[in-house]
Amino acid sequence: MTTSTTTTIADSKPYAWPFDGNLTPANTCLIVIDMQVDFCSPGGYVDSMGYDISLTRAPIVPIQNVLTCMRMKGYPILHTREGHNPDLSDCPANKLWRSQQIGAAIGQVGPCGRILIKGEPGWEIIPELEPIKGEVVIDKPGKGSFVGTSLDLILRTKGIRNIILAGVTTDVCVHTTMRNANDMGYECLLLEDCTAATDPNNHEAAISMVQKQGGVFGATCTSQELIETLSSSSLA
């Protein structure tokens, strides 16, 4: 729905997002989370764990479509990468232990270099979604995008209050970021087809959780619903 004073995504669930109809390039950004070789490509971390990477690659085209629209409209775009220092000084012992138990030890040498290590080929964002000049890249050591990073400071400096979320995985890094952002007062929207999990049931459950209690963490919609709204908005 678009009027001279408000813009909302009428079909987002469980409410028309954002809640106050204040959706502009000046206060809204897209964060593309962890679309890295290690999570989306053969030989990476997710592949080494034995999961089907066709699931984590499924959002690539929808994200490309959203990027094209939002870049054209002048919305800020941010990207995140999960990774650790080469000496593993910022990798918690329990996280390292868990990765070792599942056969994809952080720091272990694999087809894409050392797993989840900064500077290695697997740590890089996939070519299909490569950031363009001027887009912020947040390097994070954990699941959430706010812990151990300057993301909150960057967003508040830019005047951002609305966050649109894409990337992988829906149930882990995307959800952790969304929950943290919600607690910090940001108005969040999860793009259903621009996110994915290593288990489709987890993906669907994560979407459902957002929609509960009137939108406990925000709202969800499809990439097409977002694109249609932004394309028809006189404010974007």
Tell me whether residue 13 is one of the annotated catalytic residues: no
Q: Print burial letters for 68-94: b (CB count within 10 Å at least 16), e (below 16).
A: ebbeebebbbbbbbbbbeeebeebeee
**Active-site residue (options: 140, 143, 193, 194):** 140
Of residues 58, 172, 34, the one with CA closest to residue 116: 34
Catalytic: 73? Answer: no
Own/partner long-range contacts of 47-54 (Cβ < 8 Å, ≥24 apart): 48/103, 48/104, 48/110, 48/115, 49/102, 49/103, 49/104, 49/198, 50/103, 51/198, 52/198
Q: And the tokens for 102?
A: 């599942």
Told to judge if 34 belongs to the known catalytic residues of this protein, a careful annotator would answer yes
Query: Which residue in 34, 47, 171, 193 is the catalytic one?
Result: 34
The C-alpha atoms of residue 233 and residue 154 are separated, in whole angstroms, by 26
CB neighbour list of residue 146: distance below 8 Å, 6 or more residues apart: 152, 177, 180, 181, 184
213: number of Cβ within 10 Å: 9
The catalytic site residues sit at 34, 140, 173
